[in-house]
Structure 1
């Protein structure tokens, strides 16, 4: 089995068509088709359903996909380790990240990486939904959550606690709450995904109902509503760190409760054969987040 054929298979899955994969690899679609046929003959199974309009994985293709990714990554890691320029990252970095974190943190980091590594390309999915990174052939996913048990490899990047915040105008008009009971006297901006606010009181996590003046499914909308003085919002630190730094939002602390302490996690399909492109991205991301987190104007 040729690793080059495996890479063609992965390119077709990623690009969605033989012609698009051919353009990506700078070869003709007929050559793509022939190499796929050779790979299928060697494996003794059909990996892809092909029609004139679409390409889709067979059940056998789905089962082969994680092995194909591992083979491709192992070859790249070996080449990188043996190359005199092993510090250079190349290939396509495929990742997914939450929308706000991706726009405010990830994209600037990627811009710097592209300058440092001319052979690197980026395939970025900004989405708040949970994506099957193995099935989609991604290198990693950034997630902000309390992680459930998973077969994926998880690496904690930085803390990301929930914070209660509001605009200075709102707090001047309505007052600053200092205890949990004070929340009953305030209008709040609530995310559909977090209908009750998680707070830690007396060592226990509680889900507290608040007066929802604005309810939305979108973090950007909740942050904007808070900046416009529509109420208190509970968002994660990295969703509002810029606004806390510039003063358009103010953090509110409660004497008798703290907010749920989340983290930013990097999830990867495997601990073995981690490509250089993933390593340099995670190192750059950790450095940038550490720098921002220690900024005097916005640190906790």
Structure 2
């Protein structure tokens, strides 16, 4: 049985598109079509319903899919047991990250990873939207957030402190708040309207409702608006460090609270066998960040 065909079946079931599955596996559309046809001939049954608008598994395809995925896991385990530590990570690693963090931190880590492991290919997708890593076929997502319960596994890589910042032009025009209660009188740059920012002090964590005339679904856009003097932003320390050092932004320090920090997480599907390419990239990225606690459920 052709393991490439099994991998293509699994990816197609996830992506809902043979063309997208072929792209992920770096196969030509013609090759992908032939592989599925050959697999169906070998099994003596159709695996997909095909129409001009959609593709879905047949009942037989639904029954066979978990067996195909089990065979792929067993193949990976068998290869790993034979190759051992002498053979480094290989194959295609698909990673998702946010735009700003992906550009500034993850992309340089990918360059180092690919230089170290010559048999690895990487597909890095940057978006500020929350992706479904299973449905979208990702091996790994790097997230900066508070994680809720899910069927995923998450490893905390580092703390992610945040800073309130504003441009000198905004400070000169509007001044700066010195207490939480004053934030409501200022233009705050957020990803939604209305929005709540979390703060902590010696006693507790508080959420404060903030608003402004500008909202955006991109951290990069909020950062640019802040540099342009549109208002106060609540951004990650790594994102504003250079601007603070060079005077493009000023820190806004409150007397009674500070922004609640988030954390940087590596999130991946809950699998019995975590591929070497995933483990190795997580270790490399963790080494470039401040180490955090061990694995936990997301």
Residues 215, 24 of structure 1: alpha-carbon distance in 2 compared, 3 angstrom cutoff: closer
Moved over 6 A (4+): none
Matched, 1:100 2:100: yes
Contact 2:170 2:229 in 1 (8 A): yes
| 1:239-288 superposed Cα distances (whole Å, 9 cap, x missing partner) | 43443454422332322112122112111112531111111211121122
Residues 68, 123 of structure 1: alpha-carbon distance in 2 compared, 3 angstrom cutoff: farther
Matched, 1:251 2:251: yes
TM-score (norm 2): 0.79
Find the aligned partners of 1:19 and 1:187 in 2 and give their Cα distance. Answer: 43
TM-score (norm 1): 0.79
Q: Structure 1 regions of 5+ residues with no counterpart? A: 292-300
Shift of 1:92: 0.7
Shift of 1:192: 0.7
SS of the aligned residue for 1:132 comes to coil
In the alignment, which residue of structure 2 is the partner of 1:162? 162
Q: Structure 2 regions of 5+ residues with no counterpart? A: 292-298
Find the aligned partners of 2:67 and 2:237 in 1 and give their Cα distance. Answer: 37
Please give the root-mean-square deviation of Cα atoms over the aligned residues, in Å: 3.4
Find the aligned partners of 1:115 and 1:260 in 2 and give their Cα distance. Answer: 36
In the alignment, which residue of structure 1 is the partner of 2:240? 240
How many residues are aligned here?
A: 288
Residues 53, 10 of structure 1: alpha-carbon distance in 2 compared, 3 angstrom cutoff: same
| 1:168-204 superposed Cα distances (whole Å, 9 cap, x missing partner) | 3433454343321332443222221771222224533
SS of the aligned residue for 2:177 comes to coil
In the alignment, which residue of structure 1 is the partner of 2:48? 48
Find the aligned partners of 1:9 and 1:78 in 2 and give their Cα distance. Answer: 20
Residues 265, 16 of structure 1: alpha-carbon distance in 2 compared, 3 angstrom cutoff: same
User: For 1:1-300, what aligned pairs fall within 5 Å after superposition?
Assistant: 3-10=3-10, 12=12, 16-17=17-18, 21=22, 24-25=26-27, 28-29=31-32, 31-38=34-41, 40-41=43-44, 46-51=46-51, 55-58=55-58, 68-69=68-69, 71-83=71-83, 86=86, 88-192=88-192, 195-201=195-201, 203-290=203-290
Contact 1:69 1:137 in 2 (8 A): no
Residues 73, 177 of structure 1: alpha-carbon distance in 2 compared, 3 angstrom cutoff: farther
Residues 169, 126 of structure 1: alpha-carbon distance in 2 compared, 3 angstrom cutoff: same
